[in-house]
Structure 1
Amino acid sequence: MAETILCPHCLSRVEVGKEQCPFCDKPLVNSNPPGTLPFAALLGRRYTVGRHIATDGEGILYAAVENTGGVRVMLKEYFPVTLSEGRGPDGCVVPKEGREVLFKTTRMDFADLYRSVMRITPATGLAAVLDVLEENDTVYAVLEQVSGETLAHYLTAHPRCMTPAEARSMLQPVMEGVAALHKAGLVHRGVSPANILLAAGGSARLCGYGTLGLRTAGSELKSQLYDGYSAPEQYSPAEFEGRYTDVYGLAAVFYRLVTGQAPVSAVQRKVSDSLLAAQEVEPGVPGYLSNVLEAALALAPGDRLQNVPELMGALTSQRAAESLTRPEPPAPRDGRISAKSLFAGSLVVILVLFLLLMWSILDRNAPTAESQPASTPPASSEPAQIKTIPNFVGLTFLQVNTDPEYSAGYRFDIVSQEYSSEYGNGVIISQEPEAGTTTSEEKKTISLVVSKGPEMVEMPNIVGFTRESAEKELTDNHIKASFFLQENNGDYASNCVVYTDVEPGTFIDVNKTIVNVYIAKERVVYDPPAATEPPAE
């Protein structure tokens, strides 16, 4: 039986080698650049290669189709130009002579990176890696195709400055995605408007995964960095990169959104740091937020905010921002102690010696136990007062902690905070000891469980996801769902999400809402009967 592909144009099933699709009449002949995979080629007996999209120092990006479900995807082929001789007649990637070991090592780095990302996606704010396969003596990563435009393209069409609230809302899922990468031990190193996709519905996702070599100048690969967004340490292979490298990129994107201009390139800043504070560029930026961006864009990694949760908190809360950016008192120069500090220390020593001398004199003159008259027994104390603990459930922690009637007799300790659809944020859910319990303690400690309010989660855009990927995305977001099959007249990819009854981007209470998800049934595609030989005369 002849092998088949899906037409990259109309997704109809066609025999491999056909020069034209019999269903849409569009050409299937190779139109991709020399050295790339041919258009309409079959890869791994599962994917149909589409058009060439881009090439970087690490490899080649193609549009493609997953043949089983008819899902449009992206293919990233590991094909480093500095280490590869070219492609052989059999389609295999040939390493340069003398570079075979390095080619294999970096190929393993590529495979490990995408397999690691595949284990944590789909996830909020990250474009999903769907598959990793090895063929043609190289490695292919299969990526989710996100419909929408890049943030770079959007900013070109919408040059106005965003408000801090708009910028936080847009970048929140991306920051959460980068935090998820860091939790898995990964660093992105390519955070920039070019690698942030604004999907249909407005949600942002980070793509553009790359190995260390691609994101570091002077490496064995032809590097791809982003002026204004790549951190200073990325411009030298001798410097170590870490989570703070992505903090720099996220802060640089935020700076661009609220000021309307990209930060000065790190290379230029290392020569002469002319980066203006965000508030100097755009007076509408609050001072605390400008200080946060300045701290996150520090040239020296040690002077920078160190992780994404710190950055997220500081961009959201002025109090958190001020606690992170408040300058420490300057240390004495050259390690010398100032005269003022020396004088103050001397006074402390003299005072301590004086107190010791007085104590010694008083102790020597104190009467002995034998010379003291017999002491009278202390008067019996009054019996402890018994009180009944009131019911604090339903009151806010602020109420009970500031009410003089409560605070005089009780000490309140929050032992945990939980999401609740019944109680609002800050309201007490339960207490220990329970209401009605009696106590004789003058200041009884009451342990409280306080509500964080409903667990509100933004509905992700899962249209086009396979059922398995959609279930994982919803589970990761704690969203409950019911799945229903949708009739498929050929317009939808089989076993993929057609629509949901909750619009993407809507915030829902996950403890009260069940989302209905509609999955396309198997699509019916007409396969013409094979041509038969005319009967012999």
Structure 2
Amino acid sequence: MERRCMGCMEMYDEQFEICPHCGYVHGTPPKEAYHITPGSLLAGRYIIGRVLGFGGFGITYIGYDQVLETKVAIKEYMPGEFSTRMPNQQMVTVYSGERAEQFHEGMLKIIDEARRLAQFQNEPNIVHIYDCFEANNTAYIVMEYLDGESVKELLARTGKIPVDQALDIVLKVISAMKKVHEIGIIHRDIAPDNIYILKDGNVKILDFGAARYATTKHSKSLSVIIKPGYAPEEQYRSRGDQGPWTDVYALAATFYKMITGVTPEDAMERSVKDLLKKPSKLGISIPKGMETAIMNGLNVRIEDRTQTMDEFEQELMAAEVKEKVARQRRADVGKIPMWAKIAAAVGSLAVIALAVIVMTFNFMPKLEEYALPEGKTMVPNMVNQDLETAEQMGNEKQLQVMVQSMKYSAVIPEGNVTNQLIPTGTVVDVQTEVGLEISRGKEKVVVPLVQGMGQEEAVAALEEAELTVETREVDNEYFAPGSVVSQSIEGNTTAVKGDTIILEIAKDNGGGDPNIMVSVPMLEGMDLTEAQQLAREDHLYIYTVENEFSDTVPEGAIISQETAAGEQVAQNSTIRVVVSMGREKVQMPGVETMERQAAVDALETLGLTVTIEEEYSNTFREGTVISQSVAADEMVEKGTSVTLTISRGPAPQRQTQPARQPQTQTARQPATQAPQTQAPAPTQPATTAPPATQAPTQAPTQAPTQAPSNNKENLINNQLGGIGAQ
């Protein structure tokens, strides 16, 4: 007989465990515990297969429509910020309170948008929608299954795409987006990963973002949602003025990435200082008109940007295109600019409330209208960057990056930034410290050793450890019927919380005669496998009651048996034993960022020994743990030595010859100044000595202009200082 592969939905002979079409292994559990188990039936019609992709807002599965007898893609609405699912269930659990409201608002949006998109069945460049319905306390969209690769995957292989090929892709996307914009839908997430190139060369735009907008208007996870480089500045604001121009920016950025291989700089950073180079400056051979069209579409300010897809298309195809020069208004010195109010509030709790007010009333666009004054900088978006990159970004902005804490994250990869304590786009003093929270990756748990135990006990132990359990029966003559023959994840190791572990359970194969009595052998001290073989000679079974740590009995050997050696028992009886797990092991905790003594105490409490090393660090506070020689979550024996590297803070700056030069100059200054300045100004501080030496030669040219400049700076400083009073 044949079975349907849950990896590709093709049919193959069921005698094979591995699909000959795609290599999918039959019975493979879902990648995440909250994913639907492959083979499940949805709406009595759709077979759910493996996961094609998942993110913060939902999960996409390969599926099979039993009515139309065709492959499909099934998108499940499941924003992780507002909902979850228990393992081995289909029903979605929605969090209570305000998050429930946001979940349902987003669900209504995605259903409405899917139904509107369904009218484009004849549009070749929009993924076709077949069905949309509510089930399992959430919403599903059934759409055509795409066989090909995304532009992101193509770029990963090739680095760049020839201009003519990239233009063909962009024009097809424009064709689709013009029709979508006509009915009032904005994509909001055009990027290389959402443009798909089929094997026949056709282009599809997918993953429209109306639900993303609905679920994030109150969300704090903006930095994770927005794709830096492709999102225009209005998407950084909760009520930004979004429209067709928003998609124009994203598509122009995608075009730029395709032909240059370079992701455009973040829109919020460009709003302060625009360093984006034209493609020709990066060595790309491109018609002048087309290059201008791309740069017009990438203008930061909405009013300076290409407004519609029609206009963008016309400019791309025109021989000559007028450059839309980004305009900037001069800041009125007599008024207090918005950046000044923000900057003055940074460093206090008031910045949180102020940031909310600024975003609520859409004042954020004003940031780009003012050049940052000397001594000020803007905080970049460091979320989801590795620490080295985040440190480089901080250095470029003259900021001090400091690791404050580490925590588990199901979304952000291990070692990357999960949160920054000063939000992206905040204007602060240079050398301001920006605290970072770093991901430890997905949380891990200790996997219990359950081999030899009864199925019920084993499942209970694994579920208590927050693991998902699947079972299947196998033939095995050495294990008692109903006991665990093997576990897919080895015991006394660690696994990601929620991972699926498969248990093989021994079938009852008969054999033996319960009317025949036999003598129980001496099993204590024997290896479990040897004991099973010995017991089986008399048609007896070994049943593991418990696994215990032992300093004296080797791992895998029997510590004790409940039925004494020599006792008479019937054949097919089970001999209950306790098996050694060897020397006791503990799960290594993560102590990075902890204070030295707290980290030492935590490790010594677990029976570990600690060695200390020290080194200078610019990103870890003095006295905190930079690294540990044994990685967090590893299983180690008690008594293991762990080396902690402790931060000594920043390396001291050596005094070099140039640092002594001011002293030498100061020593010479009295000789040159004595005839002119020392007598009339005997109390003048040493810090004003350099201007005094310049006075005889520069007074005729500088004196008239310097005073107004100082007055202007004083005026701005006075305004900044008076903000608190307002």
The answer (yes or no) to whether the contact 2:245–2:307 under 8 Å persists in 1 is yes
SS at match of 2:271: helix
Residue 318 of structure 1 pairs with residue 319 of structure 2: yes
> Which sits farther off after the overlay, 182-191 or 119-128?
119-128
The answer (yes or no) to whether the contact 1:33–1:52 under 8 Å persists in 2 is no
SS at match of 1:213: helix
SS at match of 1:208: coil
Distance 1:303 1:129 in 2: 35
Query: CA distance change for structure 1 residues 141 and 110 in 2, over 3 Å: closer, same or farther?
Result: same
Distance 1:26 1:260 in 2: 36
The answer (yes or no) to whether the contact 2:9–2:63 under 8 Å persists in 1 is no
Aligned to 1:74: 73
Residue 102 of structure 1 pairs with residue 106 of structure 2: no
1:11-410 aligned within 5 A: 11=10, 27-28=26-27, 30-87=29-86, 91-98=90-97, 99-160=99-160, 162-163=162-163, 165-211=164-210, 213=212, 219-220=218-219, 222=221, 224-282=225-283, 284-319=285-320, 321-322=321-322, 325=323
The answer (yes or no) to whether the contact 1:56–1:224 under 8 Å persists in 2 is no
TM-aligned CA deviation for residue 109 of structure 1: 0.9
> Which sits farther off after the overlay, 280-289 or 233-242?
280-289
SS at match of 2:141: strand
Distance 2:324 2:113 in 1: 37
The answer (yes or no) to whether the contact 1:243–1:307 under 8 Å persists in 2 is yes
Distance 1:109 1:332 in 2: 41
TM-aligned CA deviation for residue 82 of structure 1: 1.1
SS at match of 2:225: coil
The answer (yes or no) to whether the contact 1:21–1:28 under 8 Å persists in 2 is no
SS at match of 1:271: coil
Paired letter, 2:287: P
Query: CA distance change for structure 1 residues 289 and 38 in 2, over 3 Å: closer, same or farther?
Result: same
TM-aligned CA deviation for residue 141 of structure 1: 0.6
Query: CA distance change for structure 1 residues 333 and 65 in 2, over 3 Å: closer, same or farther?
Result: closer
SS at match of 2:156: helix
Paired letter, 2:288: G
TM-aligned CA deviation for residue 139 of structure 1: 0.5
The answer (yes or no) to whether the contact 1:82–1:221 under 8 Å persists in 2 is no
Distance 2:49 2:144 in 1: 14
User: Structure 1, residues 315-337: CA drift from partner, whole Å, max 9, x if none?
Assistant: 01124x33xx4779999999xxx
TM-aligned CA deviation for residue 219 of structure 1: 4.2
Distance 1:11 1:221 in 2: 42
Distance 2:44 2:114 in 1: 20
> Which sits farther off after the overlay, 307-316 or 89-98?
89-98
The answer (yes or no) to whether the contact 1:6–1:65 under 8 Å persists in 2 is no
Higher RCO (C-alpha under 8 Å, 6+ residues apart): 1
Query: CA distance change for structure 1 residues 194 and 6 in 2, over 3 Å: closer, same or farther?
Result: same
User: Structure 1, residues 481-519: CA drift from partner, whole Å, max 9, x if none?
Assistant: xxxxxxxxxxxxxxxxxxxxxxxxxxxxxxxxxxxxxxx
Distance 1:299 1:262 in 2: 15
List gaps (5 residues or longer) in structure 2.
333-726
Distance 1:42 1:256 in 2: 40
Query: CA distance change for structure 1 residues 100 and 167 in 2, over 3 Å: closer, same or farther?
Result: closer
User: Structure 1, residues 383-432: CA drift from partner, whole Å, max 9, x if none?
Assistant: xxxxxxxxxxxxxxxxxxxxxxxxxxxxxxxxxxxxxxxxxxxxxxxxxx
Query: CA distance change for structure 1 residues 283 and 84 in 2, over 3 Å: closer, same or farther?
Result: closer
Paired letter, 1:134: E
Query: CA distance change for structure 1 residues 303 and 89 in 2, over 3 Å: closer, same or farther?
Result: same
TM-aligned CA deviation for residue 69 of structure 1: 2.9
Question: Alignment RMSD, CA only?
Answer: 3.6
How many aligned residue pairs are there? 325
Aligned to 1:473: none
Paired letter, 1:304: R
User: Structure 1, residues 109-147: CA drift from partner, whole Å, max 9, x if none?
Assistant: 111121111122341321112211211111001121111
The answer (yes or no) to whether the contact 1:216–1:237 under 8 Å persists in 2 is no
Distance 1:14 1:84 in 2: 39
TM-aligned CA deviation for residue 41 of structure 1: 0.1
Query: CA distance change for structure 1 residues 241 and 330 in 2, over 3 Å: closer, same or farther?
Result: closer
The answer (yes or no) to whether the contact 2:82–2:95 under 8 Å persists in 1 is yes
> Alignment identity in percent?
24
SS at match of 1:153: helix
What is the TM-score of this pair, normalised by structure 1?
A: 0.54
TM-aligned CA deviation for residue 167 of structure 1: 2.4
SS at match of 2:64: strand
Distance 1:65 1:26 in 2: 18
User: Structure 1, residues 437-462: CA drift from partner, whole Å, max 9, x if none?
Assistant: xxxxxxxxxxxxxxxxxxxxxxxxxx
The answer (yes or no) to whether the contact 1:243–1:306 under 8 Å persists in 2 is yes
The answer (yes or no) to whether the contact 1:258–1:285 under 8 Å persists in 2 is no
Aligned to 1:343: none
TM-aligned CA deviation for residue 88 of structure 1: 8.2
Distance 1:329 1:266 in 2: 15
> Which sits farther off after the overlay, 184-193 or 286-295?
286-295
Paired letter, 1:115: R
Paired letter, 1:138: T
TM-aligned CA deviation for residue 268 of structure 1: 2.3
TM-aligned CA deviation for residue 166 of structure 1: 2.9
Query: CA distance change for structure 1 residues 10 and 179 in 2, over 3 Å: closer, same or farther?
Result: closer
Paired letter, 1:294: M
Query: CA distance change for structure 1 residues 92 and 151 in 2, over 3 Å: closer, same or farther?
Result: same
Paired letter, 2:39: A
Query: CA distance change for structure 1 residues 333 and 158 in 2, over 3 Å: closer, same or farther?
Result: closer
Query: CA distance change for structure 1 residues 33 and 100 in 2, over 3 Å: closer, same or farther?
Result: same
1:471-486 aligned within 5 A: none
SS at match of 2:56: coil
Distance 1:272 1:167 in 2: 28
SS at match of 1:35: coil
Distance 1:263 1:53 in 2: 28
Query: CA distance change for structure 1 residues 45 and 82 in 2, over 3 Å: closer, same or farther?
Result: same
Distance 1:51 1:22 in 2: 13
Distance 1:81 1:170 in 2: 32
Query: CA distance change for structure 1 residues 294 and 27 in 2, over 3 Å: closer, same or farther?
Result: closer
The answer (yes or no) to whether the contact 1:29–1:40 under 8 Å persists in 2 is no
Distance 2:166 2:88 in 1: 50
Paired letter, 1:65: Y
TM-aligned CA deviation for residue 251 of structure 1: 0.8
What is the TM-score of this pair, normalised by structure 2?
A: 0.41
Distance 1:206 1:47 in 2: 24
Aligned to 2:585: none
TM-aligned CA deviation for residue 234 of structure 1: 1.1
User: Structure 1, residues 208-265: CA drift from partner, whole Å, max 9, x if none?
Assistant: 2222535997643855322211221112213121110000011111212333322112
The answer (yes or no) to whether the contact 1:35–1:87 under 8 Å persists in 2 is yes
Distance 1:156 1:27 in 2: 30
SS at match of 2:149: strand
Paired letter, 2:271: K
The answer (yes or no) to whether the contact 1:7–1:40 under 8 Å persists in 2 is no
Paired letter, 1:287: K
Paired letter, 1:167: A
Query: CA distance change for structure 1 residues 6 and 159 in 2, over 3 Å: closer, same or farther?
Result: closer
